[in-house]
Amino acid sequence: MDAVPARPARIQDVAAAAGVSVSTVSNVLNRPERVNARTAERVRVAVAALDYVPHPGAAGLRTGRASAIGLVLPDVTNSFYARIARGAADAAYDHGYSLVLCHSGDAPEREQGYFSMLVEQRAVGVVVVPLSADPGRLARLRERGIPLVLADRAMPDRDGCSASVDDIAGGRIAVQHLLDSGARDILVVNGERGIRQCADRYQGARQAVRSRREARLGQVVAEEMTVAYGAEIARGLEDLPDGVFCTNDFLAAGLCRGLTERGVRIPEDVQVVGYGDLDIASFGATTLTTVRQPVEDLGRAAVEMLLDEIEARADHLHETRVFAPGLVLRDSTRTGAPASSA
Amino acid sequence: MDAVPARPARIQDVAAAAGVSVSTVSNVLNRPERVNARTAERVRVAVAALDYVPHPGAAGLRTGRASAIGLVLPDVTNSFYARIARGAADAAYDHGYSLVLCHSGDAPEREQGYFSMLVEQRAVGVVVVPLSADPGRLARLRERGIPLVLADRAMPDRDGCSASVDDIAGGRIAVQHLLDSGARDILVVNGERGIRQCADRYQGARQAVRSRREARLGQVVAEEMTVAYGAEIARGLEDLPDGVFCTNDFLAAGLCRGLTERGVRIPEDVQVVGYGDLDIASFGATTLTTVRQPVEDLGRAAVEMLLDEIEARADHLHETRVFAPGLVLRDSTRTGAPASSA
C-alpha cells in the first residue's frame, strides 16, 4: 500500500491492501449499508492509496447512479442546436454527468438507433431536441424506462418535462417594437404555416397589432426561409409597408438586401425586425434588430430538469418551462424609440 | 424463463434462470474462456430470454471493449468545431460507439476535469481538438492509458495519430488564385504571427508569390480577426493592392465592407480571398471567394484512427493525416479566370 502500481489498480489489489474479500470491496463501493464502518474505512483508505477507479458504471453504482445523459439533436452544425448542446454540456459537467452527443440528422431510423444505444449503455436519461420526432417514438423510449426531457418543444407536463421558448411572445415584442417606433402598416414575412414556430410568431404579431387600432397587418409566406427568398420578396413588393417582421434572420437579411438594391432606405423608409439573433444579424450591411432566444438556457434547463427527475425521483414534479425571448436593437429599426421587452 | 419481467432483468434473474451462480454469469459475459461451453450456452439462452442488458460498461466488456469515446473541444457553438463534432459523431455512430461531448471552453482545469471523468468512466479513447492544450497535459492523459488522437493539429506520428488541414497549401492556393486572376500587388491581412494557422497561411502565400517574378507581397497584422478590424484596415490603406488574401472570412468580410464604403469596386479594383468558408462568406453584400477546409473529415478521420488504435492494437500504426483544402469561387474575385485547386 506504499506505491501506486504502474498499471491501473484492480479491485483485487484493493482487497489485498485492505485485507478483505473482493466482494467486501464491492459492497463498500456499491452497498455501503451492508458493511461495518471500520471495514468500510479500511477499504476506502486502500481505494484512495491505490488510486483505484471502479469499472465503468460502477462509479455510477457506487453513488447510486450511472452517469451518462444522451442529447439527441438534428444537426450540431446548426448554430441554434449547437447553443442548446453547449448549455446542456455545461450543465451536465457541473453535475458530474457525461453528455453523449447523438446527431440524428433528423432521420427517424438514426434517432431510433441512438435510443437503442442509450438504452444498452444504461444512460440515465435523454434530452431530445425534436424536429420531426413523432410522439409515438418518444413514448416508446419512455416505456423503456428512460426519463426523457424535450428541449425547444413544449410538452404537457403529465408527459414529462420540457424547456421551450415562447414564440408567441417573440412575435409580439417584435411587432410591438415596430409599432412603438412609428410603423403602422406591418408586413410579416413568414415561413410555411405548418411550422409551429412560424404560426406562433405570427400569432404574436397579430396580438400586437390588435392592440393598436390604426395599425394594419399583412403576411407573405416564403417558400424557404433563406436570404435568397427574402431578397426576392423585397424585389416583388408593390406597396411598401413601413414595418416588416421577418420570422427568421435569413429572411430579414435578404429582405434588407433586396430593399437596399431598390433604393429603399432602412430604417428611414422601412423598418425591419428579424428573429433568432443569428450571426448574420450582426454581419450584414444593415445590422438587424432581432428577437433573441435564450437558447443555451434551454439546454441547461433541460439537463437540470432531467437530473431532478433522476435524483429526486418521488419528489420530482414534471415541469413545462417556457423561456421569454428578448429584443436586440440594431440599425434596421429607428433607435431612440422606446423598445418593449418581454 | 417464460415471460420477460416488467422491470429490467438483473444478473440474479439470469443466474436463477440458468441455474448457475452470479459469478458464473459474470464470467460468461466477461471472461468466457473460464466457463465450459455447455454452461456458457445455458447462460446465453437465459440472457436472451430475459432480454438482460448488462450494466453500463459490462456491455462493452462482453464484446471485449467499452463503447464511449470522448471528444474534447473548445466551443461547440463555433461552427468550425461544430463541423468536427458532426464528423466525429457520425463516425462513432457508424461504428457503434457513443461520443461524449466535452466542452472545455478552452479552460485548462475544465479540460483536465473532463479527462478525469473520461478515465473514471473508462472511455476507450479521446479525440482532442486543442486550442491552447499544452503537450504535457496530453502526455499525462496518454500515461493514464487512454489512446488519444488530435484533430486540427498535426502531431509527430511517434506520439499518436492526428488529423489536420494543410494550412500552408491553403495560403498557397488562395494567393495562387489571385495571381492567376491577374493580381500582382498582393496584401495578406493576417492574425497574430503566434497563431500557428496564421503563420502557415502566410508561408503558403509567400510560396505562391515567390513563383511569380513580377508579383509583390505585403502583410498587415490585425489585432483581432474580426469584421470590425477588417473594415478598419480597409479604411486605413493608403496604396491599394490589387489582390488581398485575408486569413479568415471575418477579416475578409470587414475588408470588403470597408473598401466598398470608400467606393472601391470588388473585384474590378481589388480582388479579395478569405479563408474558412464560414456562413459570412456567402451572406455578405459581396460574397467571398474563400478557402474551404474539409472540417467534417477531420472529425471523422480522428475517430476512425482512434478506433483502429483501439481495435487493431498491435497491428495499429500511428498516422499523421493531413487534408488538403480547396477553393470556393464567388464574387470577390474575377470569375472566368482559371482557378487553381489543391
pLDDT tens digits, A208-227: 999 898 999 999 999 999 99
The predicted pLDDT at position A140 comes to 72
Q: Give the nearest chain A residue to B116 (CA atoms).
A: A53
Smallest Cβ distance to B55: which of A57, A119, A285? A57
The predicted pLDDT at position A175 comes to 98
The predicted pLDDT at position B6 comes to 55
The predicted pLDDT at position B117 comes to 87
The predicted pLDDT at position B133 comes to 55
Subunit contact A56:B76, Cβ cutoff 8 A: no
Subunit contact B117:A96, Cβ cutoff 8 A: yes
The predicted model gives A150-169 an average pLDDT of 90
ipTM score of the complex?
Answer: 0.73
- Residues of chain B with Cβ-Cβ distance to A227 below 8 Å are 283
The predicted model gives A308-326 an average pLDDT of 89
Averaged confidence pLDDT in chain A: 86
Subunit contact B280:A279, Cβ cutoff 8 A: yes
Smallest Cβ distance to A76: which of B82, B98, B113? B82
CB distance A334 to A177 below 8 Å: no
Subunit contact A101:B103, Cβ cutoff 8 A: no
Pick from A126-140, A162-176, A280-294, A299-313: least confident: A126-140
Smallest Cβ distance to A100: which of B98, B110, B120? B98
Subunit contact A53:B120, Cβ cutoff 8 A: yes
Q: What does residue B132 show for φ and ψ, rounded to 5 degrees? A: -120, 20
Smallest Cβ distance to B100: which of A79, A85, A100? A100
Eight-class DSSP state of B32: G
Smallest Cβ distance to A101: which of B75, B89, B105? B89
Q: Give the nearest chain A residue to B146 (CA atoms).
A: A8
Residue A5's pLDDT band, with cuts at 50, 70 and 90, is: very low
pLDDT at A199 over 90: yes
The predicted pLDDT at position A194 comes to 87
- Residues of chain B with Cβ-Cβ distance to A57 below 8 Å are 55-58
Give the strand order in the sheet containing B185-190.
B216-221, B185-190, B243-246, B271-275, B289-292, B326-328
- Residues of chain A with Cβ-Cβ distance to B284 below 8 Å are 283-285
Subunit contact A120:B8, Cβ cutoff 8 A: no
Subunit contact B53:A101, Cβ cutoff 8 A: no
pLDDT at A315 over 60: yes
The predicted model gives A301-309 an average pLDDT of 95
pLDDT at A330 over 90: yes
Place of cell 497563431: B195
The predicted model gives A271-276 an average pLDDT of 97
Q: Chain B window 203-262: which residues touch A at a Cβ cutoff of 8 Å? A: 227, 253, 257
Smallest Cβ distance to B82: which of A58, A82, A96? A82
The predicted pLDDT at position B16 comes to 83
Smallest Cβ distance to A60: which of B53, B56, B67? B56
Averaged confidence pLDDT in chain B: 86
B interface test, pick of A23, A62, A103, A124 with most B CB neighbours within 10 Å:
A103
The predicted pLDDT at position B183 comes to 97
The predicted model gives A256-265 an average pLDDT of 95
Residue A66's pLDDT band, with cuts at 50, 70 and 90, is: low
B259: left (phi over 0), alpha (psi -120 to 50) or beta: alpha
Residue A40's pLDDT band, with cuts at 50, 70 and 90, is: confident
pLDDT at A180 over 80: yes
CB distance A291 to A342 below 8 Å: no
Strand, coil or helix: A294 = coil
Task: Give A61 to chain B, closest Cα distance, Å.
Answer: 9
d(CA A77, CA A7): 39
Subunit contact A100:B99, Cβ cutoff 8 A: yes
Task: Give A86 to chain B, closest Cα distance, Å.
Answer: 6
Q: Give the nearest chain B residue to A57 (CA atoms).
A: B56
Report the amino acid identity of residue B53: V
pLDDT higher for A30 or A84? A84
Subunit contact B76:A75, Cβ cutoff 8 A: no
Smallest Cβ distance to A284: which of B100, B102, B283? B283
Of A249, A102, A278, the residue nearest B278 (C-alpha): A278
pLDDT at A281 over 80: yes
Place of cell 436519461: A125
C-alpha cell at A163: 424547456
The predicted pLDDT at position A30 comes to 62
Scanning B144-226, the segments in alpha helix (DSSP H) are 167-180, 196-210
d(CA A283, CA A72): 30
Residues of chain B with pLDDT under 70: 1-8, 22-23, 30-34, 53-66, 132-135, 336-342
d(CA B163, CA B293): 12
**B5 in contact with A at a CB cutoff of 8 Å?**
no
**A95 in contact with B at a CB cutoff of 8 Å?**
no
**A79 in contact with B at a CB cutoff of 8 Å?**
yes
B interface test, pick of A76, A120, A288 with most B CB neighbours within 10 Å:
A76
**B77 in contact with A at a CB cutoff of 8 Å?**
yes
- DSSP per position, A111-168: HHHHHHHHHHTT-SEEEE--SS--HHHHHHHHHTT--EEEESS---TTT--EEEE-HH
The predicted pLDDT at position A62 comes to 34
pLDDT tens digits, B285-332: 789 999 999 999 999 999 999 999 988 777 889 999 999 999 999 999
Angle at the Cα of A249 from the Cα atoms of A243 and A255, rounded to 5 degrees? 50
Of A179, A103, A193, A115, the residue nearest A147 (C-alpha): A115
**A83 in contact with B at a CB cutoff of 8 Å?**
yes
Residue A74's pLDDT band, with cuts at 50, 70 and 90, is: very high
Residue A38's pLDDT band, with cuts at 50, 70 and 90, is: confident
Smallest Cβ distance to B90: which of A58, A103, A119? A103
The predicted pLDDT at position B64 comes to 36
Give the strand order in the sheet containing A185-190.
A216-221, A185-190, A243-246, A271-275, A289-292, A326-328
Q: Which domains does chain A have, with CATH numbers?
A: 11-62 (1.10.260), 68-165+296-324 (3.40.50.2300), 167-293 (3.40.50.2300)
**A64 in contact with B at a CB cutoff of 8 Å?**
no
d(CA B12, CA A245): 62
The predicted pLDDT at position A338 comes to 44
Beta strands in chain A (DSSP E): 68-73, 98-103, 125-128, 148-151, 162-165, 185-190, 216-221, 243-246, 271-275, 289-292, 320-323, 326-328
- Residues of chain B with Cβ-Cβ distance to A87 below 8 Å are none
**B120 in contact with A at a CB cutoff of 8 Å?**
yes
pLDDT tens digits, B51-69: 776 543 334 433 434 589 9
